[in-house]
Amino acid sequence: MILPIVKYGDPVLRQRGATVGKVTPELRQLARDMLDTMRKAEGVGLAAQQVGRALQLAVIDIPADSKRKSRLWLGGKEADVQSIMPLTLINPQIEITKKKELDNEGCLSFPGINIDLNRGFRVKVRYQDLDLIPREFEAGGLLGRAVQHEFDHLHGVLFIDKLSAADRGKLRDKIEAIRG
């Protein structure tokens, strides 16, 4: 089922997600609906807050034909990114490298806004899957960026928060137009 995507201005986007302690059939359905919703909107990641639910739950799916490069390491060995797609991340924790990388980023809660942002060059993720089995991987490129963006959402942090006041000022009219 396609769910309505919450836009900037809705207070749920500022809520920290509650820890998921149990995976109910309803939560499984929510994860499936979030993937459907994200794909329909042509996004690569979506956090529960973006469909109005403040939970530690996010989905990511990097299409196989993506023009932007992603990298994945499993157990320290480089692996095929598609081997773990689509991803459902429950209660994720991340460690970000000090080394940063500048690249362009959008957000389905900010239609029409793309900004250049520094993110960690590589990120280590520990999370639980839909059976609450602990898993981990390391990622870079678009996948690494998506993980960091979704992790922020789960803590009520939005990508515009990462901009300097001057850069945010330049985008103010566009951002306020989304708020409506």
Catalytic residue of the set 42, 78, 150, 176: 150
Token pair of 62 as six digits:
């990097």
Q: Which is nearer to Zn ion, 79 or 178 (CB)?
A: 178
Q: Which is nearer to Zn ion, 113 or 130 (CB)?
A: 113
Query: Which residues would be at the binding site for Zn ion (CB under 5 A)?
Result: 107
Torsion angle, CA of 6/117/66/109, rounded to 10 degrees?
A: 10
The torsion region of residue 7 among left (phi > 0), alpha (psi -120 to 50) and beta comes to beta
Q: Which is nearer to Zn ion, 78 or 116 (CB)?
A: 116
Position closest to Zn ion via CB: 107
Quote the least distance from Cβ 159 to Zn ion, whole Å. 6
26 in active site: no
Quote the least distance from Cβ 108 to Zn ion, whole Å. 6
Quote the least distance from Cβ 24 to Zn ion, whole Å. 25
DSSP symbol at 163:
S
Token pair of 108 as six digits:
């389905």
Quote the least distance from Cβ 76 to Zn ion, whole Å. 29
E strand residue ranges, the chain: 45-47, 57-60, 70-74, 77-79, 87-96, 100-106, 114-120, 122-128, 134-140
How many whole angstroms separate alpha carbon 23 and alpha carbon 131? Answer: 7
CB 70 within 8 A of CB 142: yes
Q: Which is nearer to Zn ion, 59 or 107 (CB)?
A: 107
Q: Return the active site residues.
A: 150
